[in-house]
Amino acid sequence: MEDQQNLEAIMGLIMYGGNAKSDAMEAIAAAKKGDFDLAEQKIRDAEASLVEAHHSQTQMLTQEAQGNHMQVTLLTVHSQDHLMTSIAFTDLAKEIIDLYRRTYVE
């Protein structure tokens, strides 16, 4: 994988991971206000961003599996960390929304 393709894949992880985390945070804020329709939409948006991030990650992994080894840089590590944090945050956001939903139902 050439350097430009590496950079595009890495930046895709960071960008889509960041979008997912932002949407998940907005979902929590909506649930806190009792707007569960918006919360669910924001979670769907977060999940869509995570799918796009996974496409970038798969591109990198495919190249690696084909023997096109890339140099691991701090930016590469950061992008993977950003993605994993966003996945965990989105999963936790779903749980927090469920807790808020229970509070509003009772």
User: Which alpha helices (DSSP H) does the chain contain, by range?
Assistant: 3-32, 36-65, 74-105
What pLDDT does 106 receive?
Answer: 64
69 has catalytic annotation: no
Distances in Å between the Cα of 83 and the Cα atoms of 31, 61, 63, 98, 103 are: 23, 14, 19, 23, 30
* Options 54, 55, 69, 78, the catalytic residue: 78
What pLDDT does 74 receive?
Answer: 92
Confidence of residue 1 (pLDDT cuts 50, 70, 90): very low
Give the tens place of pLDDT for each residue, 53-102.
Answer: 999 899 888 888 888 888 888 999 999 999 999 999 999 999 999 999 99
